[in-house]
A and B are shown apart, each in its own frame.
Chain A
């Protein structure tokens, strides 16, 4: 069964540093998403991406965040200057437009120290 792949699985970074989280969505999927889950809390929507542009973003997705699909297969989330409160599990997801089945990646645990 096709999978959404995320790297790295765990990243520790110093406060103020930039991080890039990487995702490889399922090849024939057209919508891509980033979600965040702070430990012990619910999964929160960050941003959706379709046709090489952001289709929707949440209030969490401020100017410190950006997304990119640099090469037609990878889908990245960049946090420019990390804060302690950015510590969370970040999940990438993808979906075909004609289907309702979201496929989640295994997540990247980001720890900001």
Chain B
């Protein structure tokens, strides 16, 4: 089955810096790659997603890139703010109602 690896497990940046989180997946049939932000005790919240027919997608300070050949995708957050501090999870799915397989999470801390 699908296996999603995520790095780093923790990331500390200064406010205003950029943060990059990377994931790799194993199943070439996966075609949907969402990123979730999770605050302590809360549900995962979708922040951005990308499908395999697109190489890059941007939404304000957040962008995601996908390299299908290498089977990896990355989350980029620019101009980080303290409220960006949370755990971020990547995930992969084959779409069409198939399950999400999550990465192990990255604890992002944005320091003043």
Contacts and interface: CB of A to CB of B under 8 A. Distances in A.
B102 A97 contact: no
Interface bracket on B: 20 to 34
Q: Would you call the interface of chain A mostly helix, strand, loop, or mixed?
A: strand
Interface size class of A (residues with CB under 8 A): 20 to 34
Interface in B81-105: 89, 91, 93, 95-105
Contacts, number: 55
B72 to A, nearest CB: 18
A42 B32 contact: no
Given A106-B43, A107-B43, A100 B93 contact: yes
A75 interface: no
Please list the 7 inter-chain residue pairs (A to B) with the smallest Cβ-Cβ separation, ordered nearest first: A31-B97, A43-B102, A45-B99, A104-B43, A100-B32, A42-B102, A42-B104
Contacts of B89: 42-43
Interface of B: 32, 34, 41-46, 49, 51, 89, 91, 93, 95-105
B99 A56 contact: yes
Interface centre among A55, A95, A100, A109 (most CB of B within 10 A): A100
